[in-house]
């Protein structure tokens, strides 16, 4: 049995196509590094200023001047380039990044995303998330289906301050993969062994589920 996070990451890796430029948010999304097939020629963009970063082998000596946006020491993949942070965000605002993967505190059925601030509790600053969320064509949210207390994170309407409105394309949790459509959230895949009723019970958002079409992951 894969862990919840392994299930999310393995499903998320299926969203990456050969030749794409992708950005991996801090935390869980950055672990996608280890789920990508090596021969796909995918370039990983990191907003501090590199296109083409790759993980260092565990025994490698780090180069102190090479990190990704999460602060991990990285290497440069073949064909990589480095640049200043203004240029890095030009790449983002001009939609040259194909897919971005991000975590979420809350996400809703309109595709609104909240992942940067909990008023009164957590406000370290938004970093690069707002521009990535607003400008990258495909935003895939990777998060647990419920918070630590079991409350739903997939909502009818976000309550926390938004990172960006109507920006999410796909939500992948350990329970389901859900596409944001004009009509609402459409369930594409449900985790192996999970009943549709159980999925609905764990979710606040309205879910469109066609059981004859739904896949398992």
Partner 1 sequence: MTSLNKKHTSIEEAIARIPDGASIMVGGFGSPGTPFALLDELLAQGQKGLTLIKNDANEADIGIGRLIKAGRVDRLIASHIGLNRVAIEEMNAGRLAVEMYPQGLLAEKIRCAGVGHPGFLTDIGLDTEIASHRREIELDGRTCAIEPAIHADFALVHADVADTYGNLTYRGTAINFNPLMAMAADTVIAQAFRLDAPGSLKPEYIHTPSAFVNHVVQVDPATSEQGIREHAV
Catalytic residues: 47
Q: Which of 82, 194, 196, 209 binds partner 1 (CB under 8 A)?
A: 82
H or E element that contains 92: helix 85-93
- Answer left, alpha or beta for residue 71, where phi above 0 means left and psi between -120 and 50 means alpha: left
Rule CB under 8 A: is residue 125 a binding residue for partner 1?
A: yes
Q: 48 or 54: whose CB is closer to partner 1?
A: 48
Nearest approach in angstroms of CB 6 to partner 1 is: 25
| Shortest distance (Å) from residue 117 CB to partner 1 | 8
Comparison of 22 and 50: residue with beta carbon closer to partner 1: 50
Q: Which residue lies nearer to partner 1 by CB, 134 or 146?
A: 134
Q: Looking at 14, 17, 40, 62, which residue binds partner 1 (CB under 8 A)?
A: 62
Binding segment for partner 1 (CB under 8 A), chosen from 16-24, 27-35, 121-129, 202-210, is: 121-129
Distance between CA atoms of 107 and 5, rounded to whole angstroms? 18
Residue 110 makes contact with partner 1 by CB under 8 A: no
- Answer whether 167's CB lies under 8 Å from 141's CB: no
H or E element at residue 180: strand 176-181
Distance CA 175, CA 189 (A): 8
Query: Please, which residues have CB within 8 angstroms of residue 172's CB and are 6 or more apart in sequence?
Result: 8, 11, 12, 15, 140, 141, 142, 178
Chain mean position to CA 55: 18
Please, which residue, 86 or 201, has the CB nearer to partner 1? Answer: 86
Report which secondary-structure segment, H or E, holds 51. strand 50-55
Q: Would you count residue 92 as binding partner 1 (CB under 8 A)?
A: yes
Q: Let me know the angle formed at the C-alpha of 12 by 171 and 55, rounded to the nearest 5 degrees.
A: 130
Shortest Å distance, C-beta 206 to partner 1: 23
Binding mask 127-166 for partner 1 (x = CB under 8 A): xxxxx--xx-------------------------xxxxx-
Say whether residue 207 binds partner 1 (CB under 8 A). Answer: no
Return the residue of 8, 9, 24, 50 that touches partner 1, per CB under 8 A.
50
Rule CB under 8 A: is residue 88 a binding residue for partner 1? yes
Greatest C-alpha distance within the chain:
52
Which of 14, 17, 40, 63 binds partner 1 (CB under 8 A)? It is: 63
Q: How far is CA 145 from CA 66, 112, 132, in A?
A: 34, 16, 22
């Amino acid at each position: 049995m894969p862990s919840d996070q392994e299930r999310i990451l393995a499903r998320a890796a299926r969203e990456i196509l050969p030749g794409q430029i992708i950005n991996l948010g801090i935390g869980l999304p950055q672990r996608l590094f280890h789920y990508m097939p090596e021969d796909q020629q995918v370039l990983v963009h990191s907003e501090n200023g590199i296109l083409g970063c790759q993980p260092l082998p565990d025994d490698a000596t780090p180069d102190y001047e090479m990190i990704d946006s999460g602060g991990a020491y990285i290497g440069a993949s073949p064909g990589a380039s480095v640049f200043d942070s203004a240029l890095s965000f030009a790449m983002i605002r001009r939609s040259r990044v194909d897919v971005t993967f991000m975590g979420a505190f809350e996400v809703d059925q309109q595709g609104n995303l909240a992942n940067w601030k909990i008023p009164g509790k957590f406000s370290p600053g938004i970093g690069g998330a707002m521009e990535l969320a607003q400008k990258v064509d495909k935003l895939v949210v990777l998060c647990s289906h419920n918070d630590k207390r079991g409350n739903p994170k997939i909502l009818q309407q976000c309550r926390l301050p938004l990172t960006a409105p109507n920006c999410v394309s796909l939500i992948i949790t350990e329970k389901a993969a859900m596409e944001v459509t004009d009509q609402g959230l459409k369930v594409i895949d449900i985790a192996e062994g999970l009943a549709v009723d159980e999925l609905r019970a764990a979710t606040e958002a309205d879910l469109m589920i066609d059981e004859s079409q739904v896949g398992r992951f």
